[in-house]
Each structure stands twice: as C-alpha cells, then as structure tokens.
Structure 1
C-alpha cells in the first residue's frame, strides 16, 4: 500500500510553517501532534486576518450564504473560536499568540448591541429557517467558552457575561430545524450550567435534546438526522459529538454509560469509511467540513468508547487531515475554501457561506487528549480499510460497506438513506445507489451516476424515499417508487426493487421493475470517473464500459436485460475533477406483469489495469430468479418471487460448468 501523499502527486506547499514528516512514529502519514498544532495555528492566523476591528466578526472572503453577510461573519467567528478553544484547552491554556484574548474581546464586542446593524454586532438568534443560522453558531461559541472558561469566560467583565448569556439563551426561545439542531440548545445549556448559570430553562433544553436523540436512534450506532431515514456524516460530527462531549465535560457517568456504547458500535462500521489515502466517504451534505469527519473517531478515544487501537485512531485522523492539506483545500493565504479539494459548487448547500468550512475545527477534537496519550505516542497502525476485503451490511441505516485491501478504496451502497426533502427534488448527495472515497456524484443537471431510472415522455425518474427490504452478509436490497419532476408523468403502483451483492471489487446489481408499462425505457449507470475533457471511454470485450481516471478505473457490464452500453458526458464534473464520464446501460421493460429483471456487473478500483469484467461473473435469469456465477466458482441465487423482499441463497454452481 502506498503512502497517502504518494497517491496524488500535486501537493501544494502549505502557506504556514509545518514540521517535517516523522516516518518513525507515523509511518503511514508522517503526522504527529506537532503537525496538528501547526495546522491549527496556521488556520487560525489566516482566518484572523479577516476579523473586524473589534474582533466581533470574521468576514472571510467568498460568496455569501442564504443567511447573509452578518450571519456569515458570526459563523466565521464562532467556528474558528472553536478551533482556538480546542487548541488552547489541549495545551492547558497556553496561548503564546494571544489568540484567545482576541476572541474574548470579540465576544464582548459582538454581544454589546446584538441585532444592531453596525460593523460588529452579532445577529440575534431567531427561528428556523429564516433567522436560525445564529443558533448553529451559538453552540460553537458555548462549547468554545466551556473548554476555555478560565481564560475567556472568567476574563469577561460581569456585564459582558450577562450579555453573552442573554444572547445564548435565544437558542432556547426559538424554533430549531427538526434535526440535529436541537443539540445546539443542549450544548448552550451545558455551558451555562457549567458556569453556575443553569436553571429550569437550561434543564429543559438538555432533556428535550436527549429525548429527541432517543427517538432518532435506529441501531448499530446510527442515528437518523431527525425523523425519517437521513444518515450521513452528521452522525459523527453532531449526533454523537454534542451529547457525548457534554456528558464527558460534565462528568455525567449515567449519560456516558448510555451513549458511549453506541459510539463504540458506530465506530466499528464508521471507521471503515476512510480510504487508505485518508479520504472520508464522499456522501451526504455539508461535505465542505472535510476532516470534521474524524470528530467521532477522536471522541471515542477521548471518552474511552472506541474499538480502535490508539495507533489506528491517529492513522484515521491524520490521514484525513493530510489528505485535504495535500490536495489544495486551502487557498493561497491559508483559508479553507468552499468545496472538497478546491472550490466546488456542487459540494455546497444554500446555507454554506465563507465561514462554513471551519466546522472542520471539530476534526481537531483529538487535541483535547494530552500529549502523552497513546493516540499521540503509539506508532501508527494501518487503517481498517487497509485490511482484508470487507463487506459489512448495516440494516439499521440501509448501508452495505465494501472495502478492498489491495487499493484501500471504500464504497458505500445506499439502500436506506435519503434526504428529508426527498419528494421535492433529487439530491445527488443522497439519492445515488453507491458512493465512494474516490468518486463524487455528478451534478443535479447532469446524467446521474449510480442510478436506476425509467423514462416516460422523455423524462427520467429519480430515486426518492428508499425503503430497505432485506440484507445479508454481503448483499442489501431496497425498493423505491419512481417519481418524476413536478408536472411530469405519474406511474401509479410502479416500483423498482434493487439489490447489490459484492465480492472483492465486484458489484452485482440486480433490479426488478413492478407495475411499469411494457416498452418503457430503463437506464442504469455506474461510477462517474473524473477524466480530462474530451476523453473517450475504452471498451473491453463487447458491451463493457471502461473509464480510466487518474486514481480509479470504473467498469460496467450488462449481464441480462440491457441492450446498449455507452459513456455519457458530465461536463459539470464532480468533486474529483471538472469533467467526468458516466457509464450507462439502457434496456426496455418487458411484458411479464410480475416484473422485468435486469442484471449488471460493476467495479470501481484503484488497482492498475484491472481485468475485464466479461467472464468474471455471469447471470442466468428464469422468471424472477437470477443465478449468478462468481469468479471463485461459487454462486448465488437471487429470487424476487419469494415474497415482498428478495431472498439470496449461496449455491455451488461449479458442477454445472
């Protein structure tokens, strides 16, 4: 396995001082605690250049969010203050550059006349959605104050403390978004109680947040982000982080005992979602927070609720940090850009502003571990994705995780998670059949990757609410009702059942249409691969589509039911390149009222020059039963006619050859 920095040769020089690699202690990444401290210092110095004269706001350059410039300035202040707090608290208050003094002055200035339209005042906390963004930032302000109270809160004059408390209490008195936002008032309440300002209002905020959290827990360590089935990185950097960190800081043993085992279980699967090159999985919203994805990994070590060895914990955390620093996530002046590597609009949401990327500060949670903690002193170990090939089904979330040790690549097959607004429009960051650590979804206006759609009157369906059906050790199945854009066609009683089975790098994808009119065109796409503009797809042995990118090769082959195969241009590109190709198969729904079955074989690999898919697996279809022959001589039978959910049975088909 190559080192993370060897995977991508274009490594920019960092715009701040940085230590040399330590390949003795950290053979995989070269990073130690000193690198984390240097990164925090460099990010802070760069951001603070954009502070207002009284330090009350930090107006980072870039297009404003939907909340407006003043809210964005508060966001820049609050999120970098959290980074400063983690840096100082992890060094027992050491602040050689007087950074905390600047933030303390900024709190006093920002709360002097909140809501006033002047150069420094903070916006008031209001109701979601129109005026709710300051509620998000109140949690970072409160957590930063809680971590640094001896040097910030206690340094504020009593009247400034009173004003700050009053501003923070706005989080209790206004309506949050119906999801992880309820943990922001909980975090504010935890701080106020920690400084002797708790009362019935703070107690209600904590109890309310914890009660809702219980209702969102779906099992196997995974929470839905609100009602429904929305699973993504918010599990780690919000739903686990805020309540468990509150319990840790408060010394609440009962709450730690209740929530801690869930984090332990969560990390058993979540730790697999980091590539050998350090990249976290590219899936879900707010991906511009980047290495904040490691917050729960650090939290597990901090609270003692982790299945990971200390050296593996640091390997994941440092791998993610280095991955983005090496690949241009910083602007030339050291500011985190809005995007994934560099600026990229499709990675963003309407609420993303110039200060938004600094929720990446949560990734520095490990700095709360003392320098002599084993996470910092133990030799780095391999990341979980660098081990043997894995297939891990997570019925609670509707996920199937697939890793391959030879290239360290991670894929997540999504048969259960969708965004809360799923019925209104397709969301590329949730609606796809699969995601990976080296590919990103295509933009909403381009041909979707990893998608199954029927076409009626020239309009293609999208994948809205996803209903999990069944899982096995290396397979997972779901069902969807195909919907069309507003004003488009309606197919009553129609549905598409889908199943993904994985072996090594291979993905067998089986789809069954039900209630779709005969003769309807159907399209299935594979992995979008970033390639230079104008690149043509390679072909291998007939209908296979092969897309060779800089780091990955994507392949797609129709095994049954597909008539044509082609590569479709995606000129909006992905987070991994400004231009991409998408492999696509096209077929036609048949006459059988019980449904039509389609089978494809897909692969995404970082291995050089992978073998053609033709001959690696075959599929024989009889009615609603599919017999798949696999490269090892074994096989599986997928039966869609056995009930509401498909059944999968292992069989020995070698004797039939």
Structure 2
C-alpha cells in the first residue's frame, strides 16, 4: 500500500505557544471531508514521536503506567490506528499511512530491534491487538503489503500469543475476538474455537433491553465501556464484518443496538456535550463512537430517531471538543485528562498514548458518503425523546431540563479499587455541563472535593467516607402506584459498619427545572458522624461569615450558578462554600462546592432533604438570570413526606 501525501503539510514542528489554537480546532465540521481533515489534524502531531523503525510511539509525557514501557509505546502506536483504519476503510488517504505499515512489520518481528514482545497473561498488549485486528480486517492493503515471513510473524504475535493466554473477564475478551477476526478476514491462521468461545462467554454479560454489563454476575458496571468504548461498539463492528458468516448473532447485536440507542441518546445534550460518568473518560470523543458504528453496521434506526439526529449527535460532540483548547500538549498531542491535563482523574492504566482510544469516534469515516448519515441534514433528537427517563439496567434517571443533561445514579461500582472510584461511580448526579470531581488528596473537605456526594466523618472532618458500594439499589415510582408518578432512585449503603444510609434521588420537573432533590435517611447506630470540620484550609470555619442557615443555603456564581439548600424542618444543618483543591474537577480547574453540613449523634436517626440548584451558562442565558430560579424551591412530594413521618 503506497502512502498518500494527502493535502495537509507535515506538522512535526507544531508548537502550541501562548494563546495558540490547535489545527484540530480550526476545521469547520459539516461533512465527511471535514471530519477526515479533523482526523489528519489529530494524527499529524504524532510524527516526531515515532521510533526509528516506526513500531512504537512515545507520546510526550514521562508519566508511568502499571504496565511496562514497551507496552506503553505499543499503545501509543496502536490506538491512533483506530482512526487511520476507519479513514482507509472509507476510501480516504493519509500521508503517514506508511508509518503504521512499517511499524507493524517491525513490531511483530521477534528478531527485530523494535519487537513488541510476547504478551503474558492479562497483558496490556492484548488491548492493542484489537485496533490492529480491525485494521487488518478493513484495510486489506496492510496485509497484502507484507511478505510471507512477515505475515507469519503477524499471525504468531496477533493470533497464537493471545489465544494461549488468560484475559480479564471483562470487555477485554472482545479484543481477542478482533485479533482472530482480523486474521480470518485475510486468510491467516486464527483460532475459530477461541473466537466462538469468547463471543459465547461475552453474551453472558447481556442484561436485557440492549444493555450489557462490563463483567459477569456480581458486578454492576454499565458505563461507556458498555456502549461506545467497547461492548456495543465492537458488537456492531462484528455484525458488519462477520455478518455473512454469523447472521443470527449479527442480527441480535443490531437488535440490541436499536434498543440501547433510545437510552443512550439521553447522554448527549444540545451543545454536543456528553455526560462524563465512570472510568476512562480521558478517552474523550470516543464517547460518541456508538453512533457512527450504527451507520457502519447498517442498523435500521428505531423510531423516532433519524440519521439527521445521529449525525447531529456526532458532529456537535466533535465541535464541542474543538472548543477544549487546553487538552493538548505544547507539541499538539492529546494529554491525559479531560478538558485540560489532569493526572488526578487518570486511571493507573493511562499512559501518555492512552487518550488516542478517542480515535474510535472516527468509525463514521468508514461509512460510505452516500449513506444517509452523511447526506442528511443535522437535527436535534431532543424534540422527540422524553426529557425524563428512568434506565433500569444502569440504574440511572436521565434528565434534560434547566440547560444541561444530567443523570442520577445508584448502584454502580467498579469491580476493583480504582482511584477515585467513589466519585466516578458513587456520586448522586453527573452533568454534561459541570463534569464530576475527583479527590486530589484525602485530608479535609477541600481535598476530598465532595461534589454530588454525601460525606460522613467520625474524626472531626479530617477523613471522610462516601457512597461507594450500595447494598441495594432500584428504580421506583413515587406516588400514584401502578407505575405512575415520577421515577425515584433508592439506594441503601453503609459508610461505616454501624452507620446506615438510605438515599432517594428525585429528578427535576417542569415547574422547577433547575432543581433536583437528594433525600437521605441517616441512622448513626454506633458513632457520631458529620460534625463541622476542625480543619478547613481556605478560611476560618469558626467565623460567622463562613456559614449560613441550611434553608438559606449556599450558592456559587461563575459560569452559571450552582447551590444547595436544606428543606427539612429540623436537623440543624448549616451551609457553606468549600473551595475545592485545584484540578479536582474534570472540566474546570478551579471550583467551589456549595455544601451543607450537620451532625448526627450516636443512636440518632435523621432525615436530610437537600435541594440542589444548577443553572448553566449558555446561549440565551444572561448573567443576571443565573439565579433566577433560586428562590423557587421544589416541593417535597407527599408520598415522601408520609414515608419520612413514619420512619
């Protein structure tokens, strides 16, 4: 396969200085050609970071990762291949195509200086075999350009090694499926037995209504891995590439995608932002890859969705990322982080090349230009889907009122001790506008950054426990019975063995669109919890200026407004502002968190009713409107008042 010179000049000398803008941000997005140009702008800055034989990419940043350095550089090489493969599959060209072809040749040569190395059990190299397998499947020129010996090397590294090793019992199994599928599509040696066994086992992750869990029974984790990062995305790619050989399974995967689409549409707001939730959100615009995969797999959209709506979700999302000017390194490569470089929110598997999993978003480039995904006019989906919807399987209530998309969440948890896992899965609310916050430290409230969480301390405020695991969680209907009424999330959890909390989460309504309710029944059976902290780093907590009455509440105004008020008649809570440590939030590096604080003595049972206010800035919202709804608090529903009175 000959490398194309394309139309863009090399950018190996790209340096983003003061107030500079990445070429990625300067491309008007409207059609397929413009998205192709967007991908080229993403790939170009990688050029100077290839190794001499092109088999590795050492992205800027000397940060370590849980796996070895070679695997880290293989990750830097392989993840951009998602985008290049999609571009080539759709007939596009890129001047650097030869870099990756040469890299595959040298990386799989066990006698070569830049050999990638044999994977061990649960090795990171297995993840990177997935984009390589996909590239071989959709861009046959890569395989055709290899000699017989080089093909044998690829077969050995990509097929034999992964088929003989143990893998995590998660979405990783899909990576082995695609390693085998890439070889199969080119007539190479693969394991049909392993391919079939893996897909059969992955099917046990399915929970119904289109949703798959990222793991077996006993794990409740349905984040973007269940949709755009891995499971649904790869199911759809499989349906496209293996549909002729496996038509029944391909039809089933498409059916699941049709059902899931009506739920997943709720995660993307009118401005193109997705709701950050769960782990690996540093993969950024990969959040939208599910939608391009629908088109690639020729799925018939479920009513009322149209291809104009799907196109709108994808292009608006990419446009929003074009406005995030701080996510780049000075040399123009993606950084670890979200809207800006941030190691606090990173997982221990995020190497400097890890963010290029974002290239999944470019699956739309493999879609023919004659497909209605490209020929339709952009539309918004929010004219035809409900503004409030309960999602049974992920345990979410979705809302789009008051200027942003939000999900209320209960019950999910990562299956292993991830950094900030209580914030990534255990928070009560997640917003497309505000993002979530992670703790940059574990001492006092400023470091814990307890946004959208209930923290309990038994030592005067030095250390805090929050919701991480729920003993039970379910979606109920408040009032009316028989399925009527507003959806409510109820979870039960115990931050200490002798302190138990039942939490009720109620979404906004049309009357008070900027408010939602969080109600907590706290039973402190064995200890005092939640006293005013002795230590607060930003001000003296003993001064009157630091506090307000709970019902009076506290709010912060900057890019829109947020606030919190106590609605219970008794309880003695007070309101204050916590200046969270810098870089704790995904979207804004400086944040202030309005907070209510109170004390529950040993043996007490207390009801806390918190009303949370959020009004983002945005088109048509002037600064003097940020607090326009602050004085109109929501009503506590009658059924909940009755439950509180009898408990």
Distance across 2 between alignment mates of 1:305 and 1:293: 21
Report what 1:306 is aligned to: 301
Question: Does 2:504 correspond to 1:510?
Answer: no
Query: Which residue, out of 416, 421, 435, partners 1:421?
Result: 416
Q: What's the offset of the Cα at 1:358?
A: 0.8
The verdict on how the C-alpha distance between 1:58 and 1:415 changes in structure 2, with shifts beyond 3 A counting, is same
Question: Does 2:396 correspond to 1:399?
Answer: yes
Distance across 2 between alignment mates of 1:160 and 1:554: 59
Distance across 2 between alignment mates of 1:343 and 1:51: 22
Report what 1:475 is aligned to: 487
Q: What's the offset of the Cα at 1:203?
A: 2.4
Conservation of the 8 A alpha-carbon contact between 1:402 and 1:502: yes
Question: Does 2:466 correspond to 1:449?
Answer: no
Question: Does 2:260 correspond to 1:279?
Answer: no
SS in 2 for 1:124: coil
Query: Which residue, out of 144, 155, 158, partners 2:145?
Result: 155
Conservation of the 8 A alpha-carbon contact between 1:547 and 1:555: yes
Report what 1:250 is aligned to: 242
Question: Does 2:612 correspond to 1:611?
Answer: no
SS in 2 for 1:336: coil
Question: Does 2:212 correspond to 1:223?
Answer: yes
TM-score when scaled to structure 2? 0.83
Q: What's the offset of the Cα at 1:596?
A: 2.6
Distance across 1 between alignment mates of 2:300 and 2:225: 18
Report what 1:344 is aligned to: 342
Cα deviations by residue, 1:576-634 (Å, 9 ceiling, x for unpaired): 222211121123337887x432111112222542334444324499xxx633xxxxxxx
Report what 2:165 is aligned to: 174
SS in 2 for 1:568: strand
358-367 vs 553-562, which moves further: 553-562
Any gaps of 5 or more consecutive residues in structure 1?
Answer: 1-9, 22-29, 484-489, 525-535, 628-636, 643-657
Query: Which residue, out of 459, 466, 489, partners 1:462?
Result: 466
Distance across 1 between alignment mates of 2:499 and 2:75: 46
Q: What's the offset of the Cα at 1:234?
A: 0.6
SS in 2 for 1:160: helix
TM-score when scaled to structure 1? 0.82
Any gaps of 5 or more consecutive residues in structure 2?
Answer: 1-17, 442-446, 478-484, 534-544
The verdict on how the C-alpha distance between 1:96 and 1:598 changes in structure 2, with shifts beyond 3 A counting, is closer
Conservation of the 8 A alpha-carbon contact between 1:12 and 1:326: no
Paired residues for 1:309-328 under 5 Å: 309-328=306-325
The verdict on how the C-alpha distance between 1:382 and 1:538 changes in structure 2, with shifts beyond 3 A counting, is farther
Conservation of the 8 A alpha-carbon contact between 1:544 and 1:555: yes
Alignment coverage as a number of residue pairs: 578
SS in 2 for 1:346: coil
Report what 2:538 is aligned to: none
Distance across 1 between alignment mates of 2:407 and 2:532: 21
Cα deviations by residue, 1:233-259 (Å, 9 ceiling, x for unpaired): 111220111133112111232112211
Conservation of the 8 A alpha-carbon contact between 1:287 and 1:340: yes
Report what 2:89 is aligned to: 89
Paired residues for 1:23-62 under 5 Å: 30-62=29-61
Distance across 1 between alignment mates of 2:148 and 2:464: 62
SS in 2 for 1:456: coil
303-312 vs 350-359, which moves further: 303-312
Conservation of the 8 A alpha-carbon contact between 1:518 and 1:588: no
Q: What's the offset of the Cα at 1:279?
A: 1.5
Paired residues for 1:465-614 under 5 Å: 465-466=469-470, 467-472=472-477, 474-483=486-495, 490-492=496-498, 494-503=500-509, 504-514=513-523, 516-517=525-526, 520-521=529-530, 543-550=552-559, 552-560=560-568, 561-573=571-583, 574-589=585-600, 595-606=605-616, 607=621, 608-614=625-631
Distance across 2 between alignment mates of 1:638 and 1:305: 45
CA RMSD of aligned residues (A): 2.9
Conservation of the 8 A alpha-carbon contact between 1:90 and 1:368: yes
Conservation of the 8 A alpha-carbon contact between 1:291 and 1:360: yes
356-365 vs 183-192, which moves further: 183-192
Report what 1:363 is aligned to: 361
Larger strand proportion of the pair: 1
The verdict on how the C-alpha distance between 1:17 and 1:286 changes in structure 2, with shifts beyond 3 A counting, is closer
Distance across 2 between alignment mates of 1:294 and 1:620: 36
SS in 1 for 2:295: helix
